[in-house]
Amino acid sequence: MDPRRMKGKLCLPDHGPPKSVRYSHKSNIKFTQPEVKLAVVKEMEEFKKLGGGTIVENSTCGLNRNVSFMHELSLQHGINIIAGTGYYVMASQKKETLAMSVENMVNAMTMELTFGCGDTPNIKCGIIGEIGCSWPLHDFERRAVQASGETQEFAGCPVMFHPGRYHGAPEEIFHIYTEAGGDPKKMVMGHLDRTFHTLDGLVEYASLGTYCEYDLFGIETSHYQLNTSVDMPSDAQRIERIKHLVDNGFEDKILIAHDIHTLHRLKAYGGHGFSHILTNVVPKMLDRGLSQETINKILISNPSTWLTFSK
């Protein structure tokens, strides 16, 4: 069956397909329903009790960003929720957005970083990203990467990238961004889980000096719907690759996350939830030989350093 035709409401009996084929139900990628918002509110209560303090919510133009809801959650639970500005992949954009020049993108991102978001003018964005890139890069995406570099140079802000599904994509993005003026020390390359599949390739990229992010923790199925030639790693394999980065001297450049963007990963829909890293991944890291000091860098020091504006 064509997954695009499955429009029914996602219920627990339907949970098998989304676990292995995340986009089998359209409702699985919608977070706007009142009951879903309530589920997220409950998760924030637990996240806070377990010591969670900050969430980077990197929805951008093309990803239905809801800054007002983020603000409500932040006030209600005392959690820092950092909104992103910028542009997701070409395929998610409206026609008028696709026509934007680099200059127009720079102006729009600078406005949201320094004055406030268009729909909530009193709330500023705290990062650029995630900037969505395909493989090969579309012209619109190349302009978005260039605009991110120019804006970062001006604002001194952190930046996050969603690379195309090819091992050469992160380095291409790196060069476009830095040639436009972007600081590699403020750059995060996300989704390394599904992008680098050899340890040598991972270390070679890490040597460029950006932050390296494993951000799909909690996805424990090897089937990767968006690129079936790739096997998605398990959490244990993610930890193994992170340990390899640590052993090669990159512990100051590692970030981790869940990238929760489908309902079936929320606890109310049978998933692991926003506290999975704190409750399940950290103990496994300790079991696999990572020290508490290193884990504190990954969870506290590294994100704090990356998120601090610097000029």
What is the rounded average pLDDT for all residues in the chain?
Answer: 91
Q: What is the pLDDT of residues 114-151, one digit of tens each?
A: 999 866 778 999 999 999 999 999 999 999 999 999 99
103 in any annotated domain:
yes
15 in any annotated domain:
no
What is the phi-psi region of residue 252: left when phi exceeds 0, alpha when psi lies from -120 to 50, beta otherwise? alpha
87 in any annotated domain:
yes
Among 152-161, 208-217, 256-265, 278-287, whose mean pLDDT is lowest? 256-265
* Cα dihedral value 116, 89, 63, 131, nearest 10: -40
* Domains in the chain, number: 1
Give the pLDDT score at 63.
84
Q: Which domain holds residue 171?
A: 21-307
Q: What is the pLDDT of residues 79-103, one digit of tens each?
A: 999 999 999 999 999 999 999 999 9
* Cα dihedral value 81, 84, 89, 95, nearest 10: 120
278 in any annotated domain:
yes
Q: What is the pLDDT of residues 253-271, one digit of tens each?
A: 999 999 998 888 999 998 9
pLDDT band at 31; cut points 50, 70, 90: confident
Beta bridge partners of 131: 161
**C-alpha dihedral sign at 307, 161, 143, 4:** negative
Six-digit token string for 99: 């026509």
Q: What is the pLDDT of residues 233-251, one digit of tens each?
A: 999 999 999 999 999 999 9
**C-alpha dihedral sign at 37, 87, 172, 209:** negative
10 in any annotated domain:
no
Overall pTM > 0.85: yes
Edge-first strand listing for the sheet containing 54-57: 54-57, 80-85, 127-132, 159-162, 187-189, 211-214, 254-256
2 in any annotated domain:
no
Q: Which CATH number fits the domain that encloses residue 42? A: 3.20.20.140
181 in any annotated domain:
yes
120 in any annotated domain:
yes
